[in-house]
Amino acid sequence: MDIPYTIEPRRDTGLYNAKVGIWLFLASEVMLFGALFSSYVLLRVGNEVWPHGLLNIPIGTFNTFVLITSSVTVVMCWVNLKLHNFGRAKFYLAITILCAFAFLGVKTKEYNDKFIHYSVRTTDGKEQTGHIEGDPRFLTLKKVLAKKAETISFAADPVHDARGRVTAEAKAEEKAHHGAHEFKPIKVSDITYLSSYVPSHSPYFAVYFLITGLHGLHVLGGALVMAYILFFSNKMWSKQPDRVTNRVEVAGLFWHFVDLVWIFLFPVLYLL
């Protein structure tokens, strides 16, 4: 039995079914991400201190360019399918998928940078952020005590101002040390709190990892769907080319939505 209205439009909607379906799905996704943005607003307003400068803006900007480029390439894929240039369409689809994995690769690096970055509070009331020698991930005070370590080697970050920018004094000091991070021992007995930048660290990172993680899963899902279309459409193209075109159109709509979410995510999380 053939699935109806995969190509020809329905009389009542004027559209083929998958298009109506994808827009309904995107409507639900708007509410999903909308709810998360709403949570972000409430958490941010409810916290007296909200960190700045903890996310790498050039990397975030690069990722934004990657997603924008991938949106263009998926549209160009659809254009070439409409013009019956199947080979060229597959080329653009392949570029889109590469952009998706480039985005995810950069995101993975960003996440890893957070997992090896630590906040330490000591008994003298001082709080420092920085790196532990060897760059361990997910270390906690409990784990350090279980290892019966007496000290940890800690390289503190340069001092930042309220907007997250490195102060002039810290820049001068870093220049004097030729940019090298100096590891200094901290007694484990003096530590009251130790955590890497993980979701449990603060509401800031909880929100950051939740929203960008969910967005990243959407990127992965979209990339996998497009990869399926790229590798398994040859047979269908020879028999029903319009159906392949519609599949790319529907996948493209989802992909543009993913790009749309990032267009708002980037300034909200990285810049504000």
Determine how many CB atoms are found less than 10 A away from the CB of residue 6: 14
Location of structure tokens 């920018």: 165
Q: 123 is written with which tokens?
A: 């008994």
**Residue 13 near other proteins by CB under 8 A:** yes
Residue type present at position 1: M
Site for other proteins in 129-168 (CB under 8 A): 163
Taking the complex as a whole, the smallest distance from the CB of residue 177 to other proteins amounts, in Å, to 27
Exposed / middle / buried, residue 24 (Cβ in 10 Å: 0-12, 13-18, 19+): exposed
Among 4, 8, 24, 217, binds other proteins (CB under 8 A): 24
Q: Based on the shown chain and the rule CB under 8 A, indicate whether residue 260 belongs to the binding site for other proteins.
A: yes
Interacting stretch for other proteins, rule CB under 8 A, among 66-74, 140-148, 174-182, 188-196? 66-74
Sequence-ordered list of residues with C-beta below 8 angstroms from that of 264, at least 6 positions apart, any chain: 37
Applying CB under 8 A, what is the total number of residues that bind other proteins? 52
CA distances from 129 to 9, 137, 157, 261 (A): 59, 14, 6, 30
Task: Check residue 7 for interaction with other proteins (CB under 8 A).
Answer: no
Residues that bind other proteins in the complex, under the rule CB under 8 A? 12-15, 19-20, 23-24, 27, 30-31, 34-35, 37-38, 41-42, 45-49, 57, 61, 64-65, 68-69, 71-72, 75-76, 78-79, 82-83, 163, 203, 249, 252-253, 256-257, 259-260, 263-264, 266-268, 271-272
